[in-house]
């Protein structure tokens, strides 16, 4: 197999793009896909101060690496979840990356905030992942606003977006479908949020991380077992295998055809938390409730 760009021996085959690439051309292709997402969705420019939410995993470190290579002004934010045998390792990887790239890293420790995830898990009967996600989003937003960033970038890739879309459609979760977008504009109390990896798959991200020699956390969070999204990803991969290109068509089709209709009927959240000002459906947001301010 030959590289479609330079005709050297190819190392990666991408059926959904009907293409094969050598190492250098794959990296060029990958960065170009990220640039395409940034530009077509008007995510940010070289003038903006970007805060990248980094977990230490391959997606967020890939995102940070690509943005730095492309010359964007991107700092990192790591939320230490306080999960034994996991959070310290993740923090070590992120700190090492920041040091090697001479990039600025901000760390929030949930123990200092009084809500480490293992404690939250004891307090709730709900699945801890949804609360963990809410807590992380809360701090990404708060820190971003407080430190004067223009935009928050997260490492969600095409597979994350497609499995979420699939789940939201299967269960017709209209309020989540409205919010599913590579760009969420800023509003009062909410920082603009973007997903620059929305055009690249999990496989492509892994290949990029491997070619670039990124050192990321490869152990799973001990609370991640049985996540439904993992099951959807497996089924979607089977469909993609028999019909390459389905994932990107499904996602782009949603953004083009359904999203504009949903946006028209969107009702904005008007309430603000009376303790911290974060947008919420009730009087007090879920993070302030967990902290015991009710």
Min separation Cβ 87 and ligand SF4, Å = 9
Please count the other Cβ atoms lying within 10 Å of the Cβ belonging to residue 105.
18
Please report, as residue ranges, which positions from 52 to 81 form the binding site for ligand SF4 (by CB under 6 A): 81
94 vs 132 by CB, closer to ligand SF4: 132
Contact call for residues 121 and 162 (beta carbons, < 8 A): no
Min separation Cβ 210 and Zn ion, Å = 17
Min separation Cβ 207 and Zn ion, Å = 14
Is 129 a residue that touches ligand SF4 (CB under 6 A)? yes
Is 120 a residue that touches Zn ion (CB under 5 A)? no
Alpha helices by DSSP H, listed for the chain, are: 23-40, 58-69, 87-101, 117-123, 128-146, 158-170, 174-179, 202-211, 228-242, 246-253, 259-264, 286-290
Write the CB contacts of 119 (distance below 8 Å, at least 6 apart in sequence): 82
* Residue 38 structure tokens: 């940034």
Is 89 a residue that touches ligand SF4 (CB under 6 A)? no
30 vs 97 by CB, closer to Zn ion: 30
Is 231 a residue that touches Zn ion (CB under 5 A)? no
Instruction: Write the interaction track for Zn ion spanning residues 18-37; mark x where CB under 5 A is met and - where it is not.
Output: ----x--x------------
Taking alpha carbons only, the member of 214, 182, 212 closest to residue 197 is 182
Binding residue (CB under 6 A) for ligand SF4 from 117, 152, 209, 285: 117
Is 6 a residue that touches Zn ion (CB under 5 A)? yes
Binding at 273: pick from ligand SF4, Zn ion, none (beta carbon under 5-8 Å per type):
none
How far apart, in whole angstroms, are the C-alpha atoms of residue 291 and residue 285?
A: 10
Binding residue (CB under 6 A) for ligand SF4 from 18, 40, 124, 224: 224
Binding at 269: pick from Zn ion, ligand SF4, none (beta carbon under 5-8 Å per type):
none
Binding at 5: pick from ligand SF4, Zn ion, none (beta carbon under 5-8 Å per type):
Zn ion
Is 229 a residue that touches ligand SF4 (CB under 6 A)? no
Is 133 a residue that touches ligand SF4 (CB under 6 A)? yes
Q: Which DSSP string corresponds to 209-275?
A: HHHTT-----SPPTT-TT-HHHHHHHHHHHHHHHSTTHHHHHHHHIIIIIHHHHHHT------B-TT
129 vs 184 by CB, closer to ligand SF4: 129
Min separation Cβ 124 and ligand SF4, Å = 12
* Residue 281 structure tokens: 């459906």
Write the CB contacts of 236 (distance below 8 Å, at least 6 apart in sequence): 159, 162, 163, 166, 246, 247
Number of residues engaging Zn ion in binding (CB under 5 A)? 6
How far apart, in whole angstroms, are the C-alpha atoms of residue 257 and residue 174?
A: 15
* Residue 218 structure tokens: 């490869």
Binding at 22: pick from ligand SF4, Zn ion, none (beta carbon under 5-8 Å per type):
Zn ion
20 vs 221 by CB, closer to ligand SF4: 221
Could you list the residues that contact Zn ion (CB under 5 A)? 3, 5-6, 8, 22, 25
> Which positions touch ligand SF4 (CB under 6 A)?
81, 117, 128-129, 132-133, 221, 223-224
């Amino acid at each position: 197999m030959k590289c479609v760009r330079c005709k050297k021996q190819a190392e990666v085959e991408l059926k959904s793009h009907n293409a094969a690439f050598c190492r250098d051309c794959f990296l060029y292709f990958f960065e170009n896909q990220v640039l395409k997402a940034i530009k077509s969705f008007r995510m940010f420019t070289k003038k903006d101060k970007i805060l990248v939410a980094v977990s230490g995993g391959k997606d967020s470190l890939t995102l940070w690496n690509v943005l730095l290579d492309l010359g964007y002004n991107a700092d990192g934010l790591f939320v230490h979840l306080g999960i034994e045998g996991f959070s310290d390792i993740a923090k070590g990887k992120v700190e090492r990356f920041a040091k090697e790239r001479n990039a600025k890293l901000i760390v929030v420790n949930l123990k200092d905030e009084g809500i480490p995830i293992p404690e939250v898990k004891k307090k709730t009967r709900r699945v801890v992942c949804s609360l963990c996600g809410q807590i992380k989003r809360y701090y990404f937003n708060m820190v971003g606003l407080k430190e004067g960033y223009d935009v928050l970038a997260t490492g969600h890739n095409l597979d994350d977006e497609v499995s979420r879309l699939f789940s939201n459609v299967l269960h017709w979760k209209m309020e989540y479908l409205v919010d599913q977008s590579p760009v969420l504009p800023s509003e009062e109390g909410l920082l603009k949020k973007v997903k620059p990896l929305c055009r690249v798959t999990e496989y492509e991200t892994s290949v990029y991380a491997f070619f670039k020699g990124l050192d990321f956390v490869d152990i799973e969070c001990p609370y991640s077992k049985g996540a439904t999204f993992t099951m959807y990803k497996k089924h979607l991969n089977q469909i993609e295998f028999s019909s390459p290109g389905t994932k990107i068509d499904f996602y782009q089709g949603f953004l083009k055809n359904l999203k504009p209709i949903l946006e028209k009927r969107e009702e904005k959240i008007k309430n603000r938390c009376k303790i911290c000002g974060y947008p919420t459906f009730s009087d007090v947001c879920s993070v302030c409730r967990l902290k015991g301010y009710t």
